[in-house]
Structure 1
């Protein structure tokens, strides 16, 4: 399959490596010339779970029109707050409404935001599927190399109504992914929405004082943080129940993904620190880190929209979102994924279920 990967950061480079090693014809698109420049000379170096080596994509470019020429599918591997701009850019570049778009990941409400942005430009939308979380744990130790320390064993995927072709492509391209039924189930299993905001908010002073010089899931996982995380997770499960989904705890979800050891005791949230990749992860270095920029306004904000539609009281999520809004007031931030961004202004439980194919 000829696949265009949009995004040349940690996730995009990892996807380009995996798909190339699997025999696909891969084009890598980066928005920044500075980001792709290291890949233009000798390709993408990789180490970690896929071994060690170097791959050369068929094309590495900042020209989106050239990148999508002849592509069978697009995999979007960018921070989730970029999805509206990607939808707009794909439409402007002439992406066919018959060719699939796969969001790796969509996180919470990503597919709905992408659909809303695309439909604002034309009524006919492409098939859209999303993953609940990024397929990889990866970092770049050098500008031309990605260290892929983790690959999800089990990855929730779902398509919007009419997006069966995108779901089929997603399952074929990424082994271990599975159809979890609908995007509500996928959205509510966004791991980062639960595991990042409590520690990020309660550890904000430490982040600012030390520049993030502590381990997020070990030193930062204090008793107080764990209690807030547990409360937030209970609210997530309650919202899922209102939509007819029996969701696992986030710890059980992470066991399935592979970021928490399968033999970790019960649903102890401290087991998150036992993951080989997790226990080495440093805290955010500032309040502009993606844990703050992405997981509040594009994790908790759309979650609050779902909770309101479902009529479920979520005081912990609301408090975290409100504190974050006050803390970053006046700073330049991406527009939040609110009801307007997802096309859910005035939505009811019935209308949302119809839109995502639950009715």
Structure 2
């Protein structure tokens, strides 16, 4: 399959490696010349779950028009707060209404935002599918290298109404991904919005004092953080139930993904610290880190929108969002994914089901 991977960061480099190794024709698009220059010069060195080696995508470019010219499908691996702008840029570059788009990941509300933004510039909407979380745990140890320490074993995917071609493409390209039924189920199983905000808020002073020189999922996973995480997860599960979904705890979801041990008790939130892919990950180095900029504004904020539509009280979620807003006041941050950006202003359960094709 001819695949355009949009985004040359951790997720994009990992996707380019996996898809190239699987025999697909990959065009990698990066917005920054500085980011893609090492890949252009010597390919992408990789190590981890796919072994060790170096791949050279068929094309590496900063031109989105060039990257999508012959593509069968676009896989978007950019940070979730970039999805709205990518929708507009894809339209401007000539992406029509028939070729599918796979958001890897969409996180919470990503498919809604991408669809809404595309509709603002075009009536020809491409098939859209999203993954609940990024398929990889990956970090760049060098500008031309990617260390892929984890690959999701089971990965929730879902499509908006009319997105059958996108869900089909996504499940072919990324073995282990599966159609979980609808986008709400996918949105609510974004594990990052549960496992990042409690530790980020309660560990913020440690982040600022040490520049993140501690392990986020081990040293940072204190008893107080766990109690907040448990309550946040209970609220997520309650919202899911209101929409007709019997969701597992976040630990159960992470067991399926493969980021906690397979024998972990689904009620034991400390199991996060035992996951091989997580135990060495350092804390954010500042309040500008994506755990602060992404998982609140594009995780918990859209979750609150869904909770309001469902009529479920979410006091812990609201407290985290409010504290975060005070903490980062005056700092650069992306606009939140709210009801307007997702096209859900005034939405009801009935109108939401219509948009989902239910």
Cα distance in 2 for partners of 1:320, 1:276 equals 28
Cα distance in 2 for partners of 1:188, 1:357 equals 18
> Equivalences for 1:124-273 in 2 at 5 Å?
124-273=124-273
> Equivalences for 1:81-120 in 2 at 5 Å?
81-120=81-120
User: Per-residue displacement from partner, 1:25-84 (whole Å, max 9, x unpaired)?
Assistant: 000000111000100111111000000001110110000000000100000001000001
User: Per-residue displacement from partner, 1:178-225 (whole Å, max 9, x unpaired)?
Assistant: 000000000000000000000000000110011011110111001000
Deviation at 1:321, TM superposition (A): 0.3
Cα distance in 1 for partners of 2:266, 2:189 equals 18
The equivalent of 2:121 in structure 1 is 121
Gaps of 5+ in 1: none
The equivalent of 1:39 in structure 2 is 39
The equivalent of 1:74 in structure 2 is 74
Q: Structure 1 residue runs of 4+, over 4 Å off?
A: none
Deviation at 1:331, TM superposition (A): 1.6
- Secondary structure class of the residue paired with 2:67: helix
**Please, which moves more after superposition, 322-331 or 155-164?**
322-331
Q: Is the 8 A contact 2:135 2:152 kept in 1?
A: yes
The equivalent of 1:14 in structure 2 is 14
1:302 matches 2:305: no
User: Per-residue displacement from partner, 1:1-46 (whole Å, max 9, x unpaired)?
Assistant: 0000000000000000000000000000001110001001111110
1:55 matches 2:34: no
1:316 matches 2:310: no
CA RMSD of aligned residues (A): 0.6
The equivalent of 2:335 in structure 1 is 335
Q: Is the 8 A contact 2:226 2:270 kept in 1?
A: yes
Cα distance in 1 for partners of 2:73, 2:346 equals 33
- Secondary structure class of the residue paired with 2:121: coil
Deviation at 1:266, TM superposition (A): 3.9
Deviation at 1:329, TM superposition (A): 1.1
Cα distance in 1 for partners of 2:84, 2:31 equals 14
Report the count of equivalent residues: 358
Deviation at 1:357, TM superposition (A): 2.0
Q: Is the 8 A contact 2:288 2:332 kept in 1?
A: no
Cα distance in 2 for partners of 1:335, 1:269 equals 31
Cα distance in 2 for partners of 1:241, 1:327 equals 32
Cα distance in 1 for partners of 2:162, 2:200 equals 37
- Secondary structure class of the residue paired with 1:340: coil
Deviation at 1:264, TM superposition (A): 1.6
> Equivalences for 1:286-297 in 2 at 5 Å?
286-297=286-297
Deviation at 1:337, TM superposition (A): 0.2
- Secondary structure class of the residue paired with 1:120: helix
Cα distance in 2 for partners of 1:93, 1:349 equals 35
Deviation at 1:267, TM superposition (A): 2.0
Deviation at 1:356, TM superposition (A): 1.1
Deviation at 1:154, TM superposition (A): 0.2
Q: Is the 8 A contact 2:107 2:131 kept in 1?
A: yes
User: Per-residue displacement from partner, 1:96-142 (whole Å, max 9, x unpaired)?
Assistant: 11000000000000000000000000122000000000000000111
The equivalent of 1:355 in structure 2 is 355
Normalised TM-score (structure 1): 0.99
